[in-house]
Structure 1
Amino acid sequence: MPGILERRPPLFPDLVDWFETGLARFPARRGIGVHGIRVEEQLSEAAYCLRAELPGLDVDKDIEIDIQHGVLSLRAERSEETRQRHHSEFRYGSFARSVRLPQGAKENEAKAEYKDGILTITVPLTVAEKSPVTHVEVSRAE
């Protein structure tokens, strides 16, 4: 039995971390794990912007972005190896994240840019015209 001051590791992972990574903690098929991607979303009247933290990737072969039925899907795969005289180290993994685009997103005009480990995806929005207010009279039923 643990002492009063002895702490046991928590039974559940940190709640914030769990929400950021979602179900990515559970192994995918074929034993390959899929990890979540940390993102930041910004919405203005003109565009939806998603910034994703993806350091150390090759844009030409490691990142894939698709938009279908109003859902932006981002997938990335890292395979990195460093070798020194008596030491080698490798890091690898698959990353995935999907977000629903706001109504009025111009999917075919989306643009993506990768700089300093940050992927920025910008999707323009149609400018919603404000409809005039219509006043409706209420009649008394007999």
Structure 2
Amino acid sequence: MTTLTRRQRFSFPEIPEWFETFPARFAMPTMGDLYTVRVEDYLEEGRYVLRAELPGMSPEDIDVAIGDGMLTVKAERTEREVEKNRSEIRYGTMSRSVTLPPGADEDDVKADYTDGILTVSVGLGSEKAEAKHVEIHHGA
């Protein structure tokens, strides 16, 4: 008896890769026309670094705010008034807020926007705050 082996041949080889980026390609607005900014973050040389993908923006359209342990990046892309056959570009407000790591120094913040990527770095204090013990009172 001969066993047949089926080789699966995918007609569209790019489809598996397409599904890997599916959420990013078709992310729905979070509120009204407010879209989420895609980010990556990491620690480097004693600093917290956040990189945000904001292609096609000008630095004047980007706002970085820091306070109460949060870092917020907000940007707005306005639509040009031209007749279009098709548009896949997102217009409107985009925003993302992240919680800063413990020890972040909100007074030591640097930002740079190059080639569509916003890089924000926040200094980290060298000493971590020690846990505080709270005395418990017992009412008698």
SS in 2 for 1:17: helix
Q: Return the letter of the residue paired with 1:17.
A: P
Matched ranges for 1:1-142 at <5 A: 17=23, 25-26=29-30, 28=31, 32-44=32-44, 46-60=46-60, 62-81=61-80, 83=82, 87-88=83-84, 91=89, 92-128=91-127
Q: Return the letter of the residue paired with 2:23.
A: D
Report the structure, 1 or 2, having the larger helix content.
1
Deviates more, 1:41-50 or 1:98-107: 41-50
- What's the offset of the Cα at 1:82? 7.0
Q: Return the letter of the residue paired with 2:48.
A: Y
- What's the offset of the Cα at 1:59? 0.5
Alpha-carbon distance in 2 for matches of 1:51, 1:36: 14
- What's the offset of the Cα at 1:44? 3.5
Query: Is the CA contact 1:75–1:95 (under 8 Å) kept in the aligned structure 2?
Result: yes
Alpha-carbon distance in 1 for matches of 2:122, 2:81: 36
Q: Return the letter of the residue paired with 1:112.
A: A
SS in 2 for 1:109: strand
Q: How many residues align?
A: 106
Alpha-carbon distance in 2 for matches of 1:45, 1:51: 15
Query: Is the CA contact 1:34–1:96 (under 8 Å) kept in the aligned structure 2?
Result: yes
Alpha-carbon distance in 1 for matches of 2:102, 2:116: 29
SS in 1 for 2:107: helix
For normalisation by structure 2, the TM-score amounts to: 0.64
Q: 1:69 to 1:115 in 2, by over 3 A?
A: same
Query: Is the CA contact 1:110–1:121 (under 8 Å) kept in the aligned structure 2?
Result: yes
> Percent of aligned pairs with the same residue?
40
Across the aligned residues of Structure 1 and Structure 2, the Cα RMSD in angstroms comes to 2.9
Q: For residue 138 of structure 1, what is the aligned residue in structure 2?
A: none
Query: Is the CA contact 1:71–1:101 (under 8 Å) kept in the aligned structure 2?
Result: yes
Q: 1:116 to 1:103 in 2, by over 3 A?
A: same
Query: Is the CA contact 1:49–1:121 (under 8 Å) kept in the aligned structure 2?
Result: yes
- What's the offset of the Cα at 1:108? 1.1
Alpha-carbon distance in 1 for matches of 2:23, 2:100: 23
Q: 1:81 to 1:15 in 2, by over 3 A?
A: closer
Summarize deviations over 1:74-95 as a string: whole Å, max 9, x none. 1100014274xxx447752210
Q: Return the letter of the residue paired with 2:29.
A: R
